[in-house]
Amino acid sequence: DTGVSQNPRHKITKRGQNVTFRCDPISEHNRLYWYRQTLGQGPEFLTYFQNEAQLEKSRLLSDRFSAERPKGSFSTLEIQRTEQGDSAMYLCASSLPAGTGGTGNTIYFGEGSWLTVV
């Protein structure tokens, strides 16, 4: 399977603990995005990388959240001191550079990582 891969798929953690999610984008996709989705809502943008550079962060990304993409390939999203309000599905997506021919702006999503904070 050469799609966007995320793990773990499910994580249950106690409030106050730290959690980390990993995303492996589609090979050759230099753009990588993180989104958060709560029940009954559409995904909301958190942050995006072009290669290893984090170019934009949403106001939703509090200082307890940190995302990295150290070598421009996989990415991690860490949530420190989790709160019950962090319970959501965290989605990773990737795409080719803008301006790529054909449907190069298509953004492909992974299966998501469910977080439950108890």
Partner 1 sequence: SQQGEEDPQALSIQEGENATMNCSYKTSINNLQWYRQNSGRGLVHLILIRSNEREKHSGRLRVTLDTSKKSSSLLITASRAADTASYFCATDAAGTASKLTFGTGTRLQVTL
Binding site for partner 1 (CB under 8 A): 4, 6, 31, 33, 35, 40-45, 48, 50, 55-56, 91, 93, 95, 98, 103, 105-112, 114
- Closest by Cα among 110, 113, 89, 106 to 24: 110
Contact present, 67 and 54 (Cβ < 8 Å)? yes
> Minimal distance in Å, beta carbon 98 to partner 1?
5
Q: Which is nearer to partner 1, 24 or 111 (CB)?
A: 111
Contact 23, 73 (CB under 8 A): no
Tokens of residue 23, six digits: 């995303």
CB of 81 to partner 1, least distance (A): 25
Minimum CB–partner distance for residue 26 and partner 1 (Å): 12
10 DSSP β-pair partners: 114
